[in-house]
Amino acid sequence: MEIVIDDPRLRPIREKVELGQRLSYEDGVTLYQTSDILSVGYMANLVRERLHGSVTYFNVNRHINPTDVCVASCRLCAFGKRAKDPKAYTMSLEEVWHRAGEGWSEAVTEFHIVGGLHPELTLDWYCEMLRGLKTRFPQVHLKAFTMVEVAYLAQRGKVSVREVLERLRDAGMDSLPGGGAEIFCDRVRRIICDHKITGEQWIETARIAHSLGLHSNCTMLYGHIENAEDRADHLVKLRALQDETGGFVTFIPLAFHPDNTPLQHIPKTTGFTDIKNIAVARLMLDNIAHIKAYWVMMTPRIAQIALRFGADDLDGTVVEEKIYHDAGATTSQSLRREELLQLIRKAGREPVERDTLYRPVTRTETAFTVLV
Ligand code: V47
């Protein structure tokens, strides 16, 4: 198909994309700066279909947030609370295990487990939580703890990041989610999340996780005070680590939700920005297989459009979401498997249920199997 490129700066980028060549940092900046979203989308869709055809992945998962108590007071966050805040909560181990079993009728294949940096919960407590989940739900993949939580457990327990990861892995952690990366640039990090590990520390923690055979996801938080250069720099850094380790499974661009945060004067992102971030990620991250349009963050309607702008994954059923909903998200907290199938089919894509590592899942009336 012949497509007209409106923005002349995109012509050399289009040539590279058609030849399957790597895009540069400067290309990334141009892609973020242009308003020619249809041309960017055309290129991203080309790459998406080259990699996955029409297939679109989703999973049946459940989020569990064992605590919202957090010693960091990141300006970007509406979820974390001080321990003495009357609204703060910390689940007991029994509550975590009980919560995991609620809504079991959809037969989840993944628990996505993240929480605040709690000053008193120990590495032993988290290991017991994982062991308890594995005993009760042996077939469910445990995707748990951001790089930030792992680094905090190491710092608090005065042990190395490697040791924390080994102990969590031995207790049942199967992989790690992609959160906490925010934007790697120090200037921005100092303002939006100055109590968190640095960008370099996030990357180093992911490097160690991957070296232990653990896969992880990766994210970028956009739509706050970052600029096009900061975004391009973030993607290039993730791509460099992926060249080294191959450990990233999926990239998820995350739109900043300002409500109830100290940054609530910042306007919400628009559908245009959300779609653009999906497309640019697909074009820049040539070595990360999957780009996820996280419907909770984007709304199911925009996430569906994203399936034609570079995304090949919608995430999952989720069931109970707190991080975005504390920050004003008005989306539902859960979609049923059937609703995900419909969203994908109505976008003219072919739905494939996956497990966390993108192996297809087939279901019968009473059971499901992962095809290896
Ligand atoms: O780490 C926090 C971000 C992340 C806000 O790996 C906020 O499959 C917007 O990482 N507005 C958590 N974002 C979500 C996350 C995630 C989600 C879905 C799938 C996966 C995966 C990972 O959300 C945090 C932080 O980067 N966040 N506060 C806020 N106010």
Does any ligand 1 atom lie closer than 6 A to the CB of residue 218? Answer: no
Does any ligand 1 atom lie closer than 6 A to the CB of residue 261? Answer: yes
Q: Which of 112, 219, 222, 226 to mutate to test the pocket of ligand 1 (most atoms within 8 A of CB)?
A: 219
Does any ligand 1 atom lie closer than 6 A to the CB of residue 80? Answer: no
Burial 179-197 (b: 16+ CB within 10 A, else e): bbbbbbbeebbeebbebbb
CA pair distance 319, 322, nearest whole angstrom: 10
Convert the pLDDT of each residue in 211-242 to its tens digit: 999 999 999 999 999 999 999 999 999 999 99
Q: CA triplet 49, 40, 241: central angle to 5 degrees?
A: 70
Contacts of 255-258 with C-beta under 8 Å, sequence gap 24+, read 255/221, 255/222, 255/223, 255/297, 255/298, 256/76, 256/221, 256/222, 256/223, 256/224, 257/78, 257/297, 257/324, 257/327, 257/328, 257/329, 258/224, 258/327, 258/328
pLDDT at 334: 87
Q: What is the mean pLDDT of residues 260-286?
A: 97
**174 contact partners, CB below 8 Å, separation of at least 6:** 141, 142, 143, 214, 356
Averaged pLDDT score across all residues of the chain:
95
Q: How is residue 5 annotated by DSSP?
A: -
Convert the pLDDT of each residue in 19-57 to its tens digit: 999 999 999 999 999 999 999 999 999 999 999 999 999
Rounded distance from Cα 179 to ligand 1 centre (Å):
5
Look up residue 297 and give its two tokens: 């963050």
Q: CA triplet 315, 327, 201: central angle to 5 degrees?
A: 70
Closest atom of ligand 1 to CA, residue 79: 28
Does any ligand 1 atom lie closer than 6 A to the CB of residue 356? Answer: no
Q: Which bin fits 237, alpha (ψ -120 to 50), beta or left (φ > 0)?
A: alpha
Closest atom of ligand 1 to CA, residue 217: 6
Does any ligand 1 atom lie closer than 6 A to the CB of residue 177? Answer: yes
CA pair distance 236, 293, nearest whole angstrom: 20
- In order of their start, the domains of the chain are 24-356 (3.20.20.70)
Rounded distance from Cα 300 to ligand 1 centre (Å):
16
Q: Which helix (H) or strand (E) holds 328?
A: none
Tell me which amino acid residue 315 is.
D
Does any ligand 1 atom lie closer than 6 A to the CB of residue 146? Answer: yes
CA pair distance 107, 110, nearest whole angstrom: 9
Q: Which of 191, 254, 291, 313 to mutate to test the pocket of ligand 1 (most atoms within 8 A of CB)?
A: 254
**136 contact partners, CB below 8 Å, separation of at least 6:** 97, 100, 101
Query: If you take atom 29 of ligand 1, which residue's CA is the nearest one?
Result: 257
Query: If you take atom 9 of ligand 1, which residue's CA is the nearest one?
Result: 256
CA atoms within 13 A on the CB side of 258: 13
Closest atom of ligand 1 to CA, residue 218: 6
Does any ligand 1 atom lie closer than 6 A to the CB of residue 179? Answer: yes
Does any ligand 1 atom lie closer than 6 A to the CB of residue 219? Answer: yes
Tell me which amino acid residue 320 is.
E
CA pair distance 65, 324, nearest whole angstrom: 12
Does any ligand 1 atom lie closer than 6 A to the CB of residue 299? Answer: no
Does any ligand 1 atom lie closer than 6 A to the CB of residue 182? Answer: yes
The packing angle between helices 147-157 and 161-171, to 10°, is 110
Does any ligand 1 atom lie closer than 6 A to the CB of residue 256? Answer: yes
Look up residue 89 and give its two tokens: 């909560």
Q: Which helix (H) or strand (E) holds 288?
A: none
Convert the pLDDT of each residue in 94-124 to its tens digit: 999 999 998 666 689 999 999 999 999 999 9
Does any ligand 1 atom lie closer than 6 A to the CB of residue 321? Answer: no
pLDDT at 319: 87
CA of residue 349 relative to chain centroid, distance: 22
Convert the pLDDT of each residue in 56-81 to its tens digit: 999 999 999 999 999 999 999 999 99
Rounded distance from Cα 323 to ligand 1 centre (Å):
7
Does any ligand 1 atom lie closer than 6 A to the CB of residue 248? Answer: no
Q: What is the mean pLDDT of residues 261-280?
A: 97
Convert the pLDDT of each residue in 161-187 to its tens digit: 999 999 999 999 999 999 999 999 999
